[in-house]
Homo-oligomer: A and B are copies of this chain.
Amino acid sequence: MIVRRILLNGATFTALFLPFGSISAQSPVPSPGRWLMTGDFYGSRRYMPLELSGTADKLTGTAFGMTLSGSVRNGHLTLAGTNTSGDTAAVDATVGQDKLTGTIKQTSPRDAPVEFSFTAEPVPPLPTAKPQRHEFTPTVFYRQFSPFNAPVLRINPSDTVHTTTVDAGGNDEQGRKRVAGGNPETGPFYVNGAMPGDTLAVHIVRLRLNRDWAGSDDAIVESGLNSAMAVRMKGTGDSVRWRLDREHNVAYSESAGEHLKQFAVPMRPMLGCIATATGPGGAPPGTGDSGFFGGNMDFNGMTEGTTVYLPVSNPGALLYVGDGHAAMGDGEITGNALETSMDVEFSVDLIQHKRYSGIRLEDADSIMTMGLYGSLDDAFKEATSVMAEWLASDYKLTPSEIAQVLGTVAEYRVNEVADRNSGIVLRLPKAQLAAISKPPK
């Protein structure tokens, strides 16, 4: 396991929040350390991390990819800086109790200058409570991986959540329709301490069926149809209901005729969707979509024991889970797998100050990357590139070594062709990687 539970010493963090220099009643001074600025950027919310250090007289801030210098005087903070491209930034704010309120001005040699208001708060220290297990019964289900849906539960890193998901059509474990279809999600879960720029590790602890049927259909999606196949499949497209025999862990098509009467599909419960909310500046994706945020990845390896690493784009990460499948062939080529409600237990961990170049996953046997793109060819390249980055950053491999590893032990599988993105998963066996003298992180 690459993810380690990060139980931080609260004392250290408390210390960080002692204000700079001496405290005077009239003029508060912002504490050093990590802040999050929230800007109102011409109508869009924008999160901007800020790292403060130095003294009130000689304040230094790191933000916008540059270093800013300034001071705090009479409750008023000013910071300004320039980068090598000639871009400038100036922050002007009133200092309140653990709060900044002011404006940001930015110029660049070629673009029009911008000026917008912001507020900032110090990033709270990571929680230090003992890991908890939460029982959560969902009552609302969302159909966008949106940052604007209210969190349904606040949890700490290392906590575990036991909950349920409705099926892709919105039907729960009782078969009751709870919400319109399209992969309605349980969540969002707010992870205390998660901040834009961090990575969230989501670990599927336990994933079990909780009803005895699944819905599916019998068409083949466009990505599976060359002309011969298209002509062959003309006229299909009916719903197919599957009986889930949980005792023997196999599924049967309920409408099977003579040929498929004995056709028993081994069940391997998986989650089609795991996602963090996308940032507040853009259009929240629907729950049928996928991307850097995870989402509807439809990978049949997303089962009990799998961990997926997703970028944090909002305070609290805002984690969604949904779209359980009792079983799914590679590619979800019928558009719907065996769609069913699910009993889910997951835990989360936080990797601070780190954002990967794409989607990483791992299970007991392997590390994996996933490419999600408009074609399998581009997805293949993406999966390869993200793995190369992983091997370079974590295993310190040179480009030549990366090629030698991929050339000999890579496994590439199609995870998804049913949705707007097609997906390729690149898997490397941990057994092989164990032999690589990986330096300590």
Contact = CB atoms under 8 A, between A and B. Distances in A.
Given A231-B231, A289-B283, A330 B400 contact: no
Contact of A437 (B229, B261, B264, B388): B261
Contacts of A33: none
Interface string A181-204: 010000000000000000000000
A284 B228 CA distance: 26
Contacts of A421: 374
A66 interface: no
Contacts of A287: 283
Interface stretch (A54-62, A152-160, A303-311, A389-397): A389-397
A331 B257 contact: no
Interface in A227-269: 227-236, 238-241, 251, 253, 255-266
A337 B389 CA distance: 22
28 contacts: A42-B180, A112-B176, A143-B283, A182-B281, A182-B282, A216-B404, A218-B400, A219-B403, A224-B381, A224-B384, A236-B399, A236-B400, A259-B398, A260-B397, A260-B401, A260-B405, A260-B436, A262-B437, A264-B432, A265-B409, A265-B432, A283-B289, A329-B409, A334-B403, A334-B404, A336-B407, A376-B377, A377-B378
B381 A223 contact: yes
Nearest to A235: B399
Interface in A275-321: 281-287, 289
Interface residues on A, range: 35 or more
Interface string A171-183: 1000111111010
